[in-house]
Amino acid sequence: MIIGIAGGSGSGKTTFTNAIKEIFKEDILIIHHDDYYKDHSNLSFETKKHINYDHPDALETSLLVEHVKQLKAGQPVEKPLYDFSIHDRKGSETIFPKKIIILEGILVLENEELRNLMDLKVYVDATSDERILRRILRDTKNRGRTVEDICDQYLKTVKPMHEKYVEPTRKHADIIINGGMNKMALELIKTKIESVL
């Protein structure tokens, strides 16, 4: 079963994904779309800092599509790994198919070919205030960013790209939930997954 979980940066996608993982444990494979950011090892760190990472073209979604197809066919894949502190890939890891595969990321519902591989599409909604505050907390704690860099990136790319590419993908969702800690939605998806399994 392939589940897509989309929503704006800082909306609560990872929180919701982790809550599902907590229930189904080893039956779940989580794939973060972020790991499919294109390789920029030929660019300087300063140049990488100014790439628009919120545009669909920043991601190698065609590779993710191929990987999902291989996993559905029961084959392991060599998935890239991305490091936010260096704005680049840092190697890869072998992942194996599981009963439930969750594709998580701001733009997982943007690509039609990827959407067509999903059995269930979820959009996690949150206000822009909530999203920017969560992003500041996350990026300063976990990604080595300064508040100035986060605010600059938010205003230049995150906000406009959210409005242009992320928000419109709500229309493709089977379920729209408010925030990452939505117990009712979690119960609904738990029931849906159990029925499929």
Pick 2-196's CATH classification: 3.90.660.10, 3.40.50.300, 3.40.50.1100, 3.30.70.260: 3.40.50.300
The per-residue pLDDT for 18 is 92
Residue 141, token pair as written in the block: 């704690």
For residues 84 and 143, is the Cβ–Cβ distance under 8 A? yes
Give the mean model confidence (pLDDT) for residues 93-122. Answer: 96
pLDDT(23) > 90: yes
For residues 6 and 159, is the Cβ–Cβ distance under 8 A? no
Domain ranges of the chain: 2-196
Which residues make Cβ contacts (< 8 Å) with residue 64, sequence separation at least 6? 31, 33, 36, 103, 114
pLDDT tens digits, 145-185: 888 888 887 888 888 898 999 999 999 999 999 876 778 88
Cα 54 from Cα 166, distance rounded (Å):
9
pLDDT(72) > 90: yes
Cα 6 from Cα 154, distance rounded (Å):
18
Asked whether the CA dihedral 19, 22, 24, 27 is positive or negative, the reply is positive
Give the mean model confidence (pLDDT) for residues 29-41. Answer: 94
The per-residue pLDDT for 41 is 85
122 three-state secondary structure: strand
Q: pTM for the full model?
A: 0.88
pLDDT(111) > 80: yes
φ, ψ of residue 24 in degrees (nearest 5): -100, -5
Give the mean model confidence (pLDDT) for residues 127-132. Answer: 80
Asked whether the CA dihedral 174, 116, 1, 71 is positive or negative, the reply is negative
When comparing pLDDT for 190 and 129, which is higher? 190
Cα 60 from Cα 79, distance rounded (Å):
11
For residues 36 and 158, is the Cβ–Cβ distance under 8 A? no
pLDDT(110) > 90: yes
The per-residue pLDDT for 180 is 62
φ, ψ of residue 195 in degrees (nearest 5): -65, -35
